Chain A
Amino acid sequence: MKDRELKDALKAYAGTPDPFRKDAFIRSVAEKEKRKRATIPAQIFVQARYIRVYAWLTAVVIVLLPLFEASVKFAPLFKVAADVMPFLAGLGVIEAMRAEAHNMAELEQTTLLSAKSAFFARMILIGAAQFAAILAAAALFSKGEAGSMLTAGINLILPHCVTNILCFVLERTKFGRENVWSCFAVAAGVFLLKLIVETTAASFTPDNSLLLLLTAVLIVIEIVEFKKTVNTEELSWN
């Protein structure tokens, strides 16, 4: 008897198991096995596959800008990079909050890898990609010179940080959760604020150490706000 025939004969003899009894059996066997642990690296690995390409591409574009500037000698590209920072940050938060926008958060919350860790993993991935892109762009714009690299880095990170902080605060409100795209309004607001500051304080050149301190403080605030957003109890009375 050939393998195929044997398989068919066995199938015909045993029949298909009842799916519900089968589930109960598998469950009883699985109980004896070591349960799979939900770890943050596991969640990061899962979420990396589901973050949309544009989220990665926008980070890549930031790195490409200085390269483009070097080839065409188009000086204002650094300003362009600094101007798009709020929008880059806003897009990152929108992508990380995607489950909210598509009403998937409640379902995700009851899985082994829970929604809190899903949002955490998405934000860590996107944040890391954007942060790496900013550092690379700062290095490329300043052509590796330490002093101007610091200035370039601060100029790029500051609007990014401010936008992220405001977006996290907004996303913890009912309005923010129901209107995830409002992060774009926040980004536009920060962009306008940046323009106003640049126009009104054009002659003022702040000390780099002061700006570095401000950036450090903002990064700490950003981490705190991120943590608060991860731990928000999202559901309320209907």
Chain B
Amino acid sequence: MELIADRLTKQYGSKIAVDRMSFELKKGVIGLLGANGAGKTTLMRMMCGILSPTSGELSYNGLSVTSEEYRNVLGYLPQDFGYYPEFTGKDFLMYFCALKGLDKKAAKARCAELLDLVGLKDVAGVKVKKYSGGMKQRLGIAQALINRPEVLILDEPTAGLDPKERVRFRNLIEELGKESIVVLSTHIVSDVEHIADRIIMMKSGQIIWQGSWKESDGSLEDFYLKEFE
């Protein structure tokens, strides 16, 4: 299980959003820290194969990130996502089950399992438009887990969550990281400080620091602020 980026670059006109980034990611939680505009979302979109890099390469176990085989093991939660207005929570998941190639019987079972896991079982039949921000975010997570992903990419997943949900979410991510590569982007240090096996700090499209913070003393937040000064 290895996701490799080799001199990955993305340029939009004169703006370089991601600048020659190289890394190798293995099983565990990887926290991607950076201020708004650091290039986190662009990097994650490239990791999902929905943006093609201007130069450089990205591969997972030797597979191109644009391949069908990779999409089959990928789970993604974008920063902003919507839903069709007529969808209930269950409809939403059933739709993505269909798009992820599950047959109806398997989809029903997986939906029930995921709705239970994210605590939305009781509101499965309620329209998504009536969900709170936190509930929508949990539904998004459930959607990303449908195909039991080996690579899970979560772009600012804690946005809109209240403190209690944030803690629950962190625990969930930590568990997922035991079996998959979980890349989690955020600009809130406490989201990743205690659960990330590896931290990657980004600024202006480049990695400015990377490593594990688990055994380190001191506050990651102080270190992060110092790096960004």
Q: Which A residues have a C-beta under 8 Å from some C-beta of B?
A: 19-21, 23-24, 26-27, 30, 35-38, 42, 46, 49-50, 98, 102-104, 106-114, 118, 233, 235-238
Can you pick out 20 interface pairs between chain A and chain B where the beta carbons lie within 8 Å of each other?
A30-B148, A38-B68, A38-B101, A102-B82, A102-B85, A103-B81, A103-B82, A104-B81, A104-B84, A106-B50, A106-B78, A107-B76, A110-B49, A111-B96, A111-B99, A112-B100, A113-B99, A236-B12, A237-B15, A237-B17
CB-CB < 8 A to B113: which residues of A?
19
Contact of B101 among A21, A23, A106, A112 (CB under 8 A): A112
Closest CB-CB distance, B32 to chain A, in whole Å? 15
Q: Which residues of A contact B145 (CB under 8 A)?
A: 23
Known: A42-B101, A98-B84. A21 touches B12 (CB 8 A): no
Bound-state Cα–Cα, A36 to B99, Å:
12
Residues of B within 8 A of A27 (CB): 73, 148, 150
B130 is an interface residue with CB less than 8 A from chain A: no
Assess the B178–A35 pair: CB atoms within 8 A. no
Given A21-B179, A110-B71, is A233 in contact with B147 using a C-beta cutoff of 8 Å?
no
Residue of A nearest to B98 (CB): A46
Q: Distance (Å) between the CB of A228 and the closest chain B CB?
A: 16
Stretch at the interface among B40-48, B184-192, B196-204, B210-218: B40-48
B13, B76, B101 interface centre (most CB from chain A within 10 Å): B101
Instruction: Tell me which residues from 5 to 63 in chain B have a Cβ below 8 Å from any Cβ of chain A.
Output: 12-13, 15, 17, 37, 41-42, 45, 48-52
Whether B100 and A111, one on each chain, are in contact in the complex, defined by CB atoms closer than 8 angstroms, is yes
**A20-B176, A107-B96, A233-B52 in contact; A112/B81 too (CB < 8 A)?**
no
Query: Interface size (B, Cβ < 8 Å)?
Result: 45
Do residues A103 and B50 form an inter-chain contact, with CB atoms below 8 A?
no
User: Nearest CB to that of B72 among chain A residues?
Assistant: A112
CB distance from A106 to the nearest CB of B (A): 5
B179 and A23 within 8 A (CB): yes
Q: How far is the CA of A21 from the CA of B17 in the complex (A)?
A: 37
Residues of A within 8 A of B178 (CB): 20
Per the bound structure, the CA–CA distance linking A35 and B71 in Å amounts to 12
Nearest A residue to B84 by beta-carbon distance? Answer: A102
- Of A36, A38, A106, most buried by chain B (CB within 10 Å of CB) is A106
Complex Cα spacing A233 to B45, Å: 12
Smallest distance from the beta carbon of A44 to chain B beta carbons, Å? 12
- List the A residue with the shortest CB-CB distance to B41: A238
- Distance of A103 Cα from B85 Cα, bound (Å): 11
Which residues of A sit under 8 angstroms from B69, Cβ to Cβ?
Answer: 35
Chain A CB within 8 A of B80 CB = yes
Residues in chain A near residue B73, CB distance under 8 A? 27
- B48 near A109: Cβ-Cβ < 8 Å: yes
B143 within 8 Å of A (CB atoms): yes
Question: Are B99 and A108 in touch, CB under 8 angstroms?
Answer: yes
From residue 69 to 94 of chain B, which have CB atoms closer than 8 A to chain A?
Answer: 69, 71-76, 78, 80-85
Chain A residue at minimal CB-CB distance from B147: A112
Beyond known contacts A103-B82, A110-B49, A113-B101: 17 more, CB 8 A cutoff = A23-B179, A24-B148, A38-B101, A49-B98, A102-B83, A104-B81, A104-B83, A106-B45, A106-B50, A110-B71, A110-B74, A110-B76, A112-B100, A118-B99, A237-B15, A237-B17, A237-B42
